[in-house]
Amino acid sequence: MFHSLSEQMAELQSKLDHLGGLDTLAAVQAKNGSNRSAAHAPAVVASVHYTRTQGALFCLLAIGLVVWMFWHSIHRVIRRKQISAASLATHKMDGTQLRKVIGDANTPAWVNFPDFQRVGYITDVLDQLWPKVSEVCSFHCNLILDPLIRATKPGWVHEVTLLSCDFGEAAPMVTGVKVYKSPQTKGAEVSMEYDFHWNGRQSAKLLIKPLPAKMRFAPTPVVAFLARMFTVKVAIEDIICSGRLRVEGKPLLSTFPVVGAIQASLVEMPKFSFNINVYGGDVTLLPGIETWMNAFIRDQVLRPFILPERVIIPLVPGGGATDWEHRPRGMLFVQLKGATNVPKMDIFGKCDPFVRLYTRDKRKLKSQVKSRTYHPVWEENFQLLVHEPDHQALTCILYDWDRLSPSDEIGRVVIPVRDLPHAEPQDLELEVKLLPKASKGTRKHQTNLQSVRSGVQDGIRKVASQMGLNDPCKLCLQVTYFTFSDHELRALVEDQGPGAPLGRAPAEQGRLADSPVMNYLKGGVLIIQLRKANDLVRKPLRKGGGLLPRRVSVRVQVGPEKKHSHPGDCRASSHSTNFDETLEFVLGADVAGRQDLMINIEVYDDRLKSYCMGRVGICLNEVIRRRRWRDTWALDDVRHGSLQMDLSWLSLLEGA
């Protein structure tokens, strides 16, 4: 028994020894593991520390960005209020205070020019009338501006809607008044000019569906679906405008109401600025809207009212407005010879230059396009009417023609008509100066992506202008200006009569007797106002029709003269196009007297390859007989289509 007990004790001792060995092995393994962990511990700690540093820096950047955006927003609001307050305060100061604050160069007209008077009661009268005037003007502008905005929307806008237009609560301030006194016009007309400043907190709200320019080439259902997914509400606010308004009453009558008609026009382009507010975002979300709004306000809202354009309000039936509205005071004969060192505006290929000439923005003439040349030669002749010699100028704009995109403006030259002598040919070689594309209408303290892009483009254009032996681009032309007064026109009427055969005029006709302008004075002006093309045929797919937007233009030929409208883009699925453009033909008696002369009008789609979508012929004698003809003409040589136009004939001697 003792033997068995000793054996059991020995077996138990061996098991305990085995367990002790396991514990020792575990201890050794634990020790080795702790050594490895200790070796890797610094790397783990460094990784955790680096991650925490990154998170802290990101949080600091995010907080800094939020603080900066908040500060920038508050700064813009404060700056905007400061500008409005300063604008209102300066117009309540007298002359002495203004000179001390802003200096002599920036003082209003009534301070710097003694013939301008400060008439405060006019502003007081406007303040009383303004609630009703603002209500009426806002109502009519909502009706007029909406189709204009739709017609002039840029390519990156799929659809735009004018939600509201408010003229604000404050009336314009009249800062100076000048009354023109002339012995020649005494008893015949009354002319006044008003300097005004308008800071009325006006606003206009738009609903825009933007679309990237590249998406215009996508199928129409895809474009419509993507446009519905993204809509932006934009407000044009705090418009500030200052300029000079001319008001004339003419003719003066011997019966009540004494004045036959009232004419109102802007003497020059007013200075204006505004703020753009994008609801739910920043203006940089739509980088092209600033340029678009500047161009729209300048070209569509203000330019139609700048001299010699005018608004005429007849006070009596026939008020005499037709007598003095269109009658010119002179005529320019321009021979466009050529240009030298024309810079190219594209990376590839050469320049395809052409020139637009005008004395009135709505009546532009266009030269032929000279392909692939830096030294074009035109040798073309143009005739332009002058209605306000003191305010009009001959403007020649040099373009680089593009087939797939709007033509790029290279530069322009401007020649004031008042600087040209009578009947003396002037051979001119004028340097074409590049014009910056950056817009000038928004506040100076605001910048956005568009201004940065414009600056880069201007730098590229300046570098491009130095190509071609580093010589400046110059435009060569010969200009001859003929002036004629009412006395000379009356003498011509009494001797010959409108439409009489050409012959030597009597001595009373003075300077007009031997001038080439005589032929045109015995002729007249054909004015074609293009309205709308309806139900146009589709362009065949093999000629570029189908998916691409249409580029519709109208070409008109009267005798030897050819002109065409500015091409307008419309959707491929659209069958109608609005033009709202005026073409003017100055025709001499030798052309207007032809009995069989036809006005040939053709409608083209110029996208990729030109395609005629119909034509119409109208007899010039019928237009001369009717004097004004408004109608819709069916297009010939096509299955369907029509063209709405207003045709007017104005004899230059009529009413003289």
Same domain, yes or no, for 141 and 66? no
Q: Domain for residue 32, yes or no? A: no
Same domain, yes or no, for 299 and 391? no
How far is Cα 612 from Cα 533, in angstroms, rounded to an integer? 13
Same domain, yes or no, for 541 and 615? yes
Q: What share of the chain is helix, strand, coil (3-state, %, to 5)?
A: 35, 35, 30
Report yes or no: 236 and 216 within 8 Å, Cβ to Cβ. no
- CA torsion 231→233→234→235, rounded to 10°? 170
DSSP string, 502-558: P----GGGGGGTTSTHHHHHTSEEEEEEEEEEESPPPPPGGGT-SSSPEEEEEEEEE
pLDDT of residue 600: 95
For 570, the enclosing helix (H) or strand (E) is strand 568-570
Same domain, yes or no, for 209 and 309? yes
Q: Which pLDDT band, with edges at 50, 70 and 90, does 419 fall under? A: very high
Q: Domain for residue 41, yes or no? A: no
DSSP string, 145-179: HHHHHHHT--TTEEEEEEEEEE--SSPPEEEEEEE
Same domain, yes or no, for 244 and 342? no
Q: Domain for residue 10, yes or no? A: no
Report yes or no: 95 and 107 within 8 Å, Cβ to Cβ. yes
DSSP string, 448-494: -HHHHHHHHHHHHHHHHHTTTTTPPPEEEEEEEEEE--HHHHHHHHH
Q: Domain for residue 238, yes or no? A: yes
The residue-averaged pLDDT of 310-335 equals 74
Q: What is the DSSP letter of 327?
A: -
Which residue among 289, 320, 351 closes a domain? 320
Tell me, what CATH number does 637's domain have? 2.60.40.150
- Of 521, 388, 408, 510, nearest in space to 465 by CA: 408
Least trusted range by pLDDT, from 1-10, 367-376, 552-561: 1-10
Higher pLDDT, 26 or 495: 495
The mean of the pLDDT values for the chain is 76
The residue-averaged pLDDT of 547-564 equals 85
Report yes or no: 526 and 594 within 8 Å, Cβ to Cβ. no
> How is residue 190 written in tokens?
């009354």
Which residue among 257, 292, 320 closes a domain? 320
Does 452 have pLDDT greater than 50? no
Decide: helix, strand or coil at residue 184. Answer: coil
Q: Domain for residue 26, yes or no? A: no
Same domain, yes or no, for 259 and 120? yes
How far is Cα 354 from Cα 361, in angstroms, rounded to an integer? 17
- Domain count of the chain? 4
pLDDT of residue 462: 53
Same domain, yes or no, for 134 and 247? yes
Q: Give pTM, 2 decimals.
A: 0.59
Same domain, yes or no, for 284 and 360? no
Q: Which amino acid is at 281?
A: G
Same domain, yes or no, for 457 and 337? yes
How far is Cα 40 from Cα 56, in angstroms, rounded to an integer? 25
Rg (CA), the chain: 37
Tally of CB atoms within 10 A around 569: 17
For β-strands 611-619 and 173-180, DSSP reports them as unpaired
Q: Domain for residue 273, yes or no? A: yes
Q: Domain for residue 147, yes or no? A: yes
- Percent of the chain at pLDDT > 70 equals 66
3-state SS, one letter per residue, for 374-413: CCCEEEEEEEEEECCCCCCEEEEEEEECCCCCCCEEEEEE
- Of 151, 137, 199, 144, nearest in space to 173 by CA: 199
pLDDT of residue 555: 93
Same domain, yes or no, for 110 and 198? yes
For 295, the enclosing helix (H) or strand (E) is helix 289-296
pLDDT of residue 219: 55
Q: Domain for residue 34, yes or no? A: no
* Domain range for 84: 47-90
Report yes or no: 479 and 332 within 8 Å, Cβ to Cβ. yes
Report yes or no: 597 and 558 within 8 Å, Cβ to Cβ. yes
Higher pLDDT, 611 or 118: 611
Q: What are the b/e assignments for 47-57, b being 16+ CB within 10 Å?
A: eeeeeeeeeee
Same domain, yes or no, for 270 and 356? no
Report yes or no: 624 and 649 within 8 Å, Cβ to Cβ. yes
Does 479 have pLDDT greater than 70? yes
Does 447 have pLDDT greater than 80? no
Same domain, yes or no, for 293 and 338? no
pLDDT (tens digit, 9 = 90+) per residue, 74-131? 776 677 677 666 666 665 665 566 556 555 545 555 555 555 666 778 888 989 999 9
